[in-house]
Amino acid sequence: MKDEEMCEEIIEGDYMEDDTEEDFTIEGKTNHEEAYFDMVISHIQDIVFDSKFKEMQQKFFDSHCGEFEDTEENKLAYTEIFREYKESIERFIEEKLEEVVKGFKMGEFLKLLEKRVGQVDDHLADTLLSFTDFMIFKQLILEHKPLGKKPDGKLAVAGTKARLHTEEQSDGEEMPDLVLDIKPCRTKE
């Protein structure tokens, strides 16, 4: 079913997602613009919560996570990487919408969105806003950074001395606590 036909059926009250026999009614005034808006928002929700979207994010994080360090100070290079991230997200969403909504124009939809911003589901709105928040992006990319690997791809071990248990040994043979002292090894150059 084409999106235009679906919009018309939504307005007329005939369109239903599932095959149940419940009546479908829309309270208040409904017009083509409102039905179109609801349809596009529904598609955006499908897109951003789809596994293909997550794969696109993971690939981006894989290729850029080595650049980031977990410090309060942000490097100038982070700005360019974040700009690329936002552009790739916008491009992905726009391309998917163009595939499923005939004649979709992002500029026109953004104007419509400005008028109806309060009608967007809070979870979806928060998700979309998170794509434009640098601190959330930095946290995600740092969480994606592989544990135990340095940016150069070599294995790194991190740890501190720890007392494994403090109770007195009541049965069995008395053994000292295990204390590891791990130091970096030198590589041949």
- DSSP, res 148: T
The C-alpha atoms of residue 41 and residue 49 are separated, in whole angstroms, by: 12
| 3-state per-residue secondary structure call for 74-131 | CCHHHHHHHHHHHHHHHHHHHHHHHHHCCCCCHHHHHHHHHHCHHHCCHHHHHHHHHC
pLDDT at 154: 56
From residue 65, alpha-carbon distances to 59, 73, 156 in Å are 10, 16, 16
Report the pLDDT value the prediction gives residue 187, as an integer from 0 to 100: 59
Q: How far is Cα 179 from Cα 162, in angstroms, rounded to an integer?
A: 6
One-letter amino acid at 162 equals A
- pLDDT tens string for the chain (189 positions)? 555 555 455 444 444 444 444 444 445 545 888 888 889 999 999 999 999 999 999 999 989 988 999 899 999 999 999 999 999 999 999 999 999 998 888 888 888 888 888 888 888 888 888 888 999 999 999 988 765 455 555 555 555 555 555 566 566 676 677 676 666 666 555
Identity of the amino acid at 170: S
Contact 39, 3 (CB under 8 A): yes
| Burial environment of residue 56 by CB neighbours within 10 A (0 to 12, 13 to 18, 19 or more) | middle
Q: Which amino acid is residue 98, in one-letter code?
A: E
pTM, whole model, 2 decimals? 0.59
Indicate the Cα dihedral angle 66, 69, 70, 72, nearest 10°: -150
